[in-house]
Amino acid sequence: MWRSAFAEPSMPKDPETAGQQDAPHTLIPFLQSQSQTALTRLYTRPSSCLAIFRLLGPIERQIVMSLLWLEGPIASQTLNGWVTKEGRKPYGTALDTLSKIQILPNPGTRMLLNPNFKASFRMALTGGGDLNSFGVPYVSSKEKDAERDGAGDKKFGPNSEHLDSYALERWETILHYMVSSGTDSTPQRPSAGVLYLLQRSGLMQPLPSPSGYSTASSRKTSQLQISSLGFQFLLHTPHEQLWELLLQYLKMVEERQMDLVEVLNFLFMLSTMDLGREYSPDNLTQTQLVMLEDLRDYGLIWQRKSSSKRFSPTRLATTLTSSTPLLPSSGGGNTGPQGFIILETNYRLYAYTDNPLQIAVLNLFVHLKSRYPNLVVGSITRDSVRKALNNGIRADQIISYLVTHAHPQMRRNNPLLPVTVQDQIRLWELEKNRLKSADGYLYTNFAAQADYQVVLDYAKQIGVVLWENSVKRCFFASAEGHSNIRGFIERRSKDEQM
C-alpha cells in the first residue's frame, strides 16, 4: 500500500513557469458567471476594459486586438486561417473564454466584438471621453494657485517607498495573524472586516476548544485558527493571495447590498492608477466609498486619515493586473522572491531570513532550534511534520513550499530537495493514514448467486461499490447509494412476486 511512496520522487517543477502561462486568471471564471447585463455595464468604462484585457491570455488578447479596429463583422473562417496546427486547441479555448465573458459573442459564425467593449477599449487606447474612469487626481487649492503662478508641484503626497512599506505592513499583519493563530504568540489583530473575510473564505475557522466543546469565553473572543485551505493560501505568491481574498470579497458583495459592477469598476480603476499620486474621492459612488475603507484595511489604499479628502493606491493595487508581484520583499532584508531555505539530507534546515512571517510559516512544520540575526536553524522531525499533518496540511504542500523557497545554492542540486527527506515526509503522511474508513452498508446473505450478481452489477453501475467478495456473496457500498440500491431490490422483489 505504501510502496508508492518509493516511486521516483516527483521532479520539482519550476515554480516560475509551471501553470502560470496556461491557467486563466482566477477572476475570469468569476466574470463568466456574471449576467450579460452586468458585464455589459462593466464594459462601458475604459479602465475596466483595459484591466480585464490584461487578465486575458496571450491568444485572447491577440484576437481582441485583431478585431478591435474593424468596423463590421468578419467571417470566422477568415481568422481561422491564421491559426497554425498547434494553435487550434488553444485558439478554440480562447474563443470560448471570450464568448463566455461576452467580449466576443457568437464566435461560431461571424466575429464582432461586444459594441460596448469595443467603444470603451478604443477609448482607453486613444484617450478621450468624460467618464473619469482612470481616477480623478487630487488637486489641493494651494496647488491650484501654485500652478497658476507657474511654480512646480512640490507636494506629491506620500512617496512610493512609504506606500510600499505601508502596504507590506498591512499585508503581513494579515498573513502573520493567520500563521500564528493557534500558537501562543499574540500578533497584532487585523481589523474586524479582514477577520470576517478570512473566516468567510474558509482560510480560517473558529477554534474548537481542545476539550471538544466550545466554552462561553472562547466563543466570545471568537478565536480563529488557520485551516488546511489557509495553509495552502500561505504557500501561494502574494499576487495569488491578493486575488483570492479579493475574489472572496466580490462574492460577499451581494450580501452586503453592494453593486458588483461598481465594486469591479473601482478595483479596475485602482489597477490603472499611478503609484505615488493622490486621487480625489469626490467622483466615487456610495458603494465605492465603503470599499475605500475596506481596501485600506487590506493595504491596497493609503489615506493620511480616514476622513482625508484624498487617497493613494499602493503597489498592491497598481499591480493587480500584472502577473508578477512587485511588492518589495518583506522584513527589510533583500531575500525577495529568491529562496532562503537550505535543506540537508540529515533533515536539518537553515533558513536565511529575519522575517517573522517566514519564520512563523516555517514553524508550522519545522522544529526550530536556534535563531541568529539573519539565520534560523531547525530540523524536520517526525513530531513537527505530524503536528502540521494534524492541522490539515498535506505532505505535498510542505514539499512544494520548500521547493518554491529553496535557496539559490540548492538550485544546483538535482533533484532539488534531498530525496530521503521528501520520501520521509510522504511516509509520515501515509503512516497517519493507515486506517481508511467509509460509512455505508454491507449487503450479505444473498440466497441466490443470480440475485447477488444483479444487485452488484447495479451498484457498480451507479459507482458506489467499495469492496466485494463473490465467494462470500457480499459487497459493501457507500451510504449515498443505499436508497438507490434498496429501491432497486424492492422493484425486483415485486417483479418476482408477480
Question: CA 379, CA 348: separation in Å to the nearest integer?
Answer: 4
Residues touching another protein, count (CB under 8 A)? 88
Strands 312-313 and 341-343: unpaired
Q: Quick one: which segment of 29-37, 45-53, 179-187, 370-378 binds another protein (CB under 8 A)?
A: 45-53
Q: Cell triple for residue 185?
A: 504568540
The radius of gyration computed from the CA coordinates of the chain, to the nearest angstrom, equals 28
Q: Please list every residue from 109 through 128 that binds another protein, using CB under 8 A.
A: 123-128
Q: Quick one: which segment of 26-34, 200-208, 219-227, 451-459 binds another protein (CB under 8 A)?
A: 451-459
Q: What is the DSSP string of 342-369?
A: EE-TTSEEEE----HHHHHHHTTTSEEE
Q: What is the DSSP string of 20-68?
A: TTTSPPTHHHHHHTS-HHHHHHHTTSHHHHHHHHHHS-HHHHHHHHHHH
Q: Which of 48, 133, 265, 335 binds another protein (CB under 8 A)?
A: 133
State which residue, 258 or 410, has the beta carbon closest to another protein: 410
Question: CA 27, CA 352: separation in Å to the nearest integer?
Answer: 35
Which H helix or E strand runs over 474? strand 474-478
- Per rule CB under 8 A, is residue 265 in the interface with another protein? no
Q: Quick one: which segment of 4-12, 60-68, 174-182, 246-254 binds another protein (CB under 8 A)?
A: 60-68
Q: Which of 382, 391, 424, 484 binds another protein (CB under 8 A)?
A: 382
State which residue, 185 or 283, has the beta carbon closest to another protein: 283
Cβ at position 344, least distance to another protein in Å: 16
State which residue, 183 or 324, has the beta carbon closest to another protein: 324
- Per rule CB under 8 A, is residue 323 in the interface with another protein? yes
State which residue, 102 or 335, has the beta carbon closest to another protein: 335
Integer angstrom CA distances of residue 240 from 26, 243, 313: 8, 5, 19
Integer angstrom CA distances of residue 66 from 106, 278, 308: 16, 36, 44
The pattern of x and - marking residues 470 through 489 that bind another protein according to CB under 8 A reads --x-x-x-----x--xx--x
Residue 318 CB-density burial (10 A; 0-12 exposed, 13-18 middle, 19+ buried): buried
Residues found in the chain:
498
Closest CA to 38 of 47, 25, 48: 48
- Per rule CB under 8 A, is residue 158 in the interface with another protein? no
Q: Which of 3, 7, 33, 130 binds another protein (CB under 8 A)?
A: 130
Angle at which helix 419-432 crosses helix 395-404, to 10 degrees, equals 160
The pattern of x and - marking residues 431 through 450 that bind another protein according to CB under 8 A reads x--xxxxxxxxxxxxxxx--
Q: Please list every residue from 337 through 366 that binds another protein, using CB under 8 A.
A: 338
Which H helix or E strand runs over 296? helix 286-298
CA contacts within 13 A on the Cβ side of 388: 28
- Per rule CB under 8 A, is residue 146 in the interface with another protein? no
Residue 493 CA to its chain's centroid (Å) = 52
DSSP label at residue 311: B
State which residue, 323 or 374, has the beta carbon closest to another protein: 323
**What is the residue type of 143?**
E
Q: Which of 44, 319, 335, 397 binds another protein (CB under 8 A)?
A: 319
- Per rule CB under 8 A, is residue 498 in the interface with another protein? no
Angle among Cα 450, 452, 458 to the nearest 5 degrees reads 105
State which residue, 324 or 374, has the beta carbon closest to another protein: 324
Task: Give backbone dihedrals phi and psi of 142, rounded to 5 degrees, phi first.
Answer: -65, -45
- Per rule CB under 8 A, is residue 221 in the interface with another protein? no
Q: Please list every residue from 74 through 113 that binds another protein, using CB under 8 A.
A: 82-84, 86-87, 90-91
Cβ at position 14, least distance to another protein in Å: 10
Q: Which of 198, 204, 273, 364 binds another protein (CB under 8 A)?
A: 273
Cβ at position 373, least distance to another protein in Å: 22
Q: Quick one: which segment of 303-311, 351-359, 395-403, 490-498 binds another protein (CB under 8 A)?
A: 490-498
Closest CA to 134 of 261, 39, 56, 45: 45
State which residue, 257 or 445, has the beta carbon closest to another protein: 445
Cβ at position 176, least distance to another protein in Å: 27
- Per rule CB under 8 A, is residue 162 in the interface with another protein? no
Cβ at position 37, least distance to another protein in Å: 25
Q: Which of 77, 185, 222, 322 binds another protein (CB under 8 A)?
A: 322
Closest CA to 459 of 479, 441, 484, 493: 484
Q: Quick one: which segment of 173-181, 222-230, 427-435, 456-464 binds another protein (CB under 8 A)?
A: 427-435
Question: CA 93, CA 106: separation in Å to the nearest integer?
Answer: 14
* Other C-beta atoms lying within 10 Å of the C-beta of residue 425: 24
Cβ at position 233, least distance to another protein in Å: 23
